[in-house]
Amino acid sequence: MKLGYFPGCSLHSTAKEFDLSLKAVAGPLGVELEEIRDWSCCGSSSAHATDHLLSTALAARNLSLAEEQGLSRVMAPCAACFSRLATARHELAHDEAQARLVRPMLARSFKNAVEVQNVVALLQGLAGRIKATAKPLTGLRVACYYGCLLVRPPAIARFDDPEDPTSMEQVVAATGATAVKWSRRLDCCGAGFSLSRVGSVVRLGRAILEDAKASGAQAVVVACPMCHSNLDLRQSAMEARGASLGLPILFLTQLVGLALKLPPASLGFERHFVSAAGLLRAIAAPAALQLPAPRG
């Protein structure tokens, strides 16, 4: 299966391990990723918060490049990139006035014919193959964290149920791990305030991680580089009230990679702030997972 790949800025920097682990699992799962040549930033929150037309045009440039490259579908692992590309595709199909403004800004012809997909949808579609290939991660309990833009707004994401999704849990089930039930899997982590309003990120992330911990999860699984950096890099600040969280934050592709028995070094775990070393040792051990019992 050939699939267009839009890494976005984060997967080339702060979330390099998302890129590494995605590429590592793609081969064994029969997915050929073809990166969009000369892609540019999707515009992210800064474009749509200040100039809507700019946000559409920046995203449309990437869709037009994918089209020129002969790709019919593009997968954007970053939830924010996915949302921006899907929003542009949707609006250019439904808002003729905006489309008339954007088309002349693009340096090539553009039919708006490329579909946009997120990484969870991709892996959900491959769940059967994952299960058939996996050495089951029996005993591992993880909290599936969706955050915002994988499922919202429903008219754009057109993916899963916006209030009660199950796609990540299906992928986790295919790896043999157990997805815990918890409440805050659709709450916002603070997203783009990571530099400009750290206090909000810490408040929101703490509530999410305390809930995941209380639900018995040994790790949190995410599918967005911004969720990852907020919950991983800022986790020590979220622990400031004294209670230790110690929750490794894994990309869904890293979890799938472990189930496919890929060497952890190829999945980029050493790049995390909250060490997953204990988790990896337990997974490698022949006995069922012997991890410290969660609090509560």
Partner 1 sequence: MSEAGSSHVDSSLAGELCRATGLNVAACYQCGKCSAGCPMAAEMPLAPHQMLRLAQLDAREKLLSDPSPWLCLTCETCTARCPNEVDPARLIDGLREIVFKRDPAAAPLRLRAFHQAFLHQIRSHGRVFEVGLIVGYKGRTGALFDDVLNAPAVLRRGKLALSPSNIEGREEVRRIFEACQQTAARKEARP
Q: Which residues bind partner 1 (CB under 8 A)?
A: 9, 12-16, 38-41, 43-54, 57-58, 61, 95, 101, 104-105, 107, 147-149, 151-154, 162-163, 186-188, 190-193, 195-198, 200, 204, 233, 270-273
Omega before residue 153 within 30° of 0, cis: yes
Q: Which two tokens stand for residue 141?
A: 């309990």
Torsion over CA: 273, 274, 277, 283 (sign): negative
Phi, psi at 202, each rounded to 5°: -65, -40
Smallest distance from partner 1 to CB 160, Å: 12
Complex with partner 1: residue 49 or 113, whichever CB lies closer: 49
- Closer CB to partner 1, 126 or 182, in the complex: 182
Q: Of 52 and 73, which has the nearer Cβ to partner 1?
A: 52
Could you tell me the smallest distance in angstroms from the CB atom of residue 66 to partner 1?
A: 13
Of 105 and 291, which CB lies nearer to partner 1 in the complex structure? 105
3 Cβ contact list (under 8 Å, min separation 6) = 31, 32, 33, 34, 71, 73, 74, 75, 117, 122
CB of 21 to partner 1, least distance (A): 14
Could you tell me where the beta strands, DSSP code E, fall in the chain? Answer: 2-5, 32-35, 73-75, 115-117, 141-144, 178-179, 219-222, 249-251
Q: Smallest gap, in angstroms, from Cβ of residue 38 to partner 1?
A: 5
CB 46 within 8 A of CB 114: no
Query: Which CB, 157 or 171, lies closer to partner 1?
Result: 157
Q: Is the dihedral of CA 94, 2, 42, 257 positive or negative?
A: positive
Residue 79 phi/psi, 5° resolution?
-65, -35
Closest approach of partner 1 to the CB of residue 46, in Å = 4
DSSP-derived 3-state class of residue 287: coil
> Measured from the CB atom, is 192 or 246 closer to partner 1?
192
Number of helices followed by number of strands (H, E) in the chain: 15, 8
Structural contact between residues 244 and 115, judged by C-beta atoms closer than 8 angstroms: no
State the minimum distance, in angstroms, from the CB of residue 163 to partner 1. Answer: 8
Shortest reach from residue 97's CB to partner 1, in Å: 8
CB-nearer residue toward partner 1: 179 or 189 = 189
